[in-house]
Chain A
Amino acid sequence: AQSVTQLDSQVPVFEEAPVELRCNYSSSVSVYLFWYVQYPNQGLQLLLKYLSGSTLVKGINGFEAEFNKSQTSFHLRKPSVHISDTAEYFCAVSQKGYQKVTFGTGTKLQVIP
């Protein structure tokens, strides 16, 4: 079985400040890891993914995440946030060979002007 933990339900941050959204996962087998973003009244959109290779993954809108196997983490970072980054962010995991994706409970990023 696989699971995802996003400990921070809400993260307020001032505009142009850096942000880190935390994600820890649990799985007994090899996994793929994802971050999705959900803007108000819109569908989920893939932000970035880790499948294999380099542990530092770059995504859209200046976001990046680092896969840390020893700490079973996949934290999302952005060096300078913008008002338009206000959204809910979901970390997700799937086991290699399976299509089922397991999502965390989400972190609401509130960028303060």
Chain B
Amino acid sequence: DTGVSQNPRHKITKRGQNVTFRCDPISEHNRLYWYRQTLGQGPEFLTYFQNEAQLEKSRLLSDRFSAERPKGSFSTLEIQRTEQGDSAMYLCASSLGLADYNEQFFGPGTRLTVL
């Protein structure tokens, strides 16, 4: 088990471009989470999937952001028409179980820089 992986690890883009990040959770983990972490702040929850269903979404997830988990395995997070304020570390986490609480295992993150 190699843990949660995220690709790419770094992305530099120009304002207005679209970007897509991928997250591969730990095998058989049914829950997957996306967070955003800006400099000097803690991670902020964006959204959460249970299998392929997106069950919770933060108000931070504007209409330029979309996340998918089509087959209940890997997930993608797309940002359209990027803005400089989107520059941040995007973290993915996964967990196993259906209980009220299951430990979330975090990936290394994708650092996005919007020029």
Contact = CB atoms under 8 A, between A and B. Distances in A.
Interface of B (DSSP majority class): loop
Contacts of B108: 41-43
A36 B42 CA distance: 10
Interface stretch (B63-71, B78-86, B96-104): B96-104
B23 to A, nearest CB: 12
A23 B53 CA distance: 33
B104 A46 contact: yes
A44 B41 CA distance: 13
Interface string B85-115: 0000001010000001101101111000000
B102 to A, nearest CB: 9
Interface residues of A, number: 26
B74 interface: no
A49 B4 contact: no
A92 interface: yes
B58 interface: yes
A101 to B, nearest CB: 6
Interface in A42-61: 42-46, 49, 51
29 contacts: A9-B40, A36-B106, A41-B108, A42-B108, A43-B4, A43-B106, A43-B108, A43-B109, A44-B43, A44-B91, A44-B93, A45-B106, A46-B103, A49-B101, A49-B103, A51-B101, A90-B43, A96-B101, A97-B100, A99-B31, A99-B48, A99-B55, A100-B56, A103-B42, A103-B43, A103-B44, A105-B40, A105-B42, A106-B42
Given A42-B108, A49-B101, A106-B41, 18 more contacts: A4-B42, A9-B40, A36-B106, A43-B91, A43-B109, A90-B43, A94-B101, A99-B31, A100-B45, A100-B58, A101-B33, A101-B43, A101-B104, A102-B45, A103-B42, A103-B44, A105-B40, A106-B42
